[in-house]
């Protein structure tokens, strides 16, 4: 699915908004109502706040639907110290850190924030588009059996994510998985279910093949 990115600009900053990756009304609207107002057109008014303040709120957008580019010489977004995958109950995985996602087309996306589908129903795979709610996807988001493996060589700190055809999200690079019960486990290699059928979520257990899951 082609991205649908719109840009909104002030003298100090450009805000890029990818409609297809926006899945909830939370951080932006609550964080800076002088800039983000769904009842106004345009709904983003970058001049409504100082660029530093706006950048801080954009960095809280968990899906990466919001990004910014500074025109005033201010700093670009810095990745957090570590890479994390947070499992959301009945919802996507929120990935944060130095993340490099390779799409089936070969295009790579290097960002610090992403929400990736794990129910198998998104029409904007690998990104979440909120289809889990309509599909009634149910999973508590708790890691029962850690399937992460250790690093095999120097990973240089980047979390590489690739997509197995008709199969899981493949992770390579240091990562902490944050379970919905507050526990966490770490490793550097792993496969996350994105078909929604694994009996050992969030990890892949091979169920995608039995279920005939299809995704590029």
Q: Least distance (Å) from ligand FES to the CB of residue 114?
A: 17
Q: Least distance (Å) from ligand FES to the CB of residue 199?
A: 8
23 binds ligand SF4, rule: CB under 6 A: yes
67 binds ligand SF4, rule: CB under 6 A: no
205 binds ligand FES, rule: CB under 6 A: yes
Which residue, 112 or 200, has its beta carbon nearer to ligand FES? Answer: 200
Instruction: Name the one range near ligand SF4 by CB under 6 A: 4-12, 62-70, 119-127, 193-201.
Output: 62-70
63 binds ligand SF4, rule: CB under 6 A: yes
133 binds ligand SF4, rule: CB under 6 A: no
Instruction: Look at phi and psi of residue 23 and say left if phi exceeds 0, alpha if psi is from -120 to 50, else beta.
Output: alpha
61 binds ligand SF4, rule: CB under 6 A: yes
The per-residue DSSP string of 10-42 comes to -SSEEEEEEGGG---S-HHHHH-TTTB-TTSSS
204 binds ligand FES, rule: CB under 6 A: yes
193 binds ligand FES, rule: CB under 6 A: yes
Among 22, 32, 49, 195, binds ligand FES (CB under 6 A): 195
119 binds ligand FES, rule: CB under 6 A: no
How far apart CA 64 and CA 61 sit, in angstroms, is 6
How far apart CA 136 and CA 203 sit, in angstroms, is 19
Choose among ligand SF4, ligand FES, none what residue 47 binds, the Cβ cut-off being 5 to 8 Å by kind.
Answer: none
Per CB under 6 A, contacts with ligand FES among 152-191 are 167-168
Burial of 115 (0-12, 13-18, 19+ CB in 10 A): buried
Tokens 């954009």 sit on residue: 58
Among 9, 10, 24, 180, binds ligand SF4 (CB under 6 A): 24
The answer to whether 43 and 32 are in contact (CB under 8 A) is no
208 binds ligand FES, rule: CB under 6 A: yes
Q: What share of the chain is helix, strand, coil (3-state, %, to 5)?
A: 15, 30, 55
101 binds ligand FES, rule: CB under 6 A: no
The answer to whether 183 and 199 are in contact (CB under 8 A) is no
Neighbouring CB atoms inside 10 A of 152's CB total 9
Interaction site with ligand SF4 (CB under 6 A): 22-28, 61, 63, 65-66
């Amino acid at each position: 699915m082609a991205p649908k990115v719109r840009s909104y600009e002030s003298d100090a900053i450009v805000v890029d908004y990818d409609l297809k990756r926006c899945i909830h009304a939370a951080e932006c609207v609550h964080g800076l109502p002088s800039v983000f107002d769904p009842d106004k057109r345009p709904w983003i008014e970058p001049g409504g706040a100082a660029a530093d303040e706006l950048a801080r709120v954009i960095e809280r957008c968990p899906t990466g639907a919001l990004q910014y580019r500074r025109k005033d010489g201010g700093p670009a977004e810095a990745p957090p110290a570590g890479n994390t995958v947070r499992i959301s109950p009945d919802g996507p995985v929120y990935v944060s850190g130095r993340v490099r996602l390779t799409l089936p087309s070969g295009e790579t996306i290097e960002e610090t924030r992403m929400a990736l589908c794990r129910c198998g129903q998104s029409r904007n795979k690998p990104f979440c588009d909120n289809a889990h709610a309509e599909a009634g996807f149910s999973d508590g988001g708790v890691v029962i059996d850690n399937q992460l493996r250790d690093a095999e060589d120097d990973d240089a700190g980047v979390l590489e994510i690739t997509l197995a055809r008709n199969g899981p999200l493949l992770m390579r690079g240091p990562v902490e998985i944050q379970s919905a019960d507050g526990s966490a486990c770490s490793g550097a290699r792993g496969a996350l279910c994105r078909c929604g059928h694994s009996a050992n979520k969030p990890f892949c257990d091979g169920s995608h093949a039995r279920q005939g899951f299809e995704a590029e």
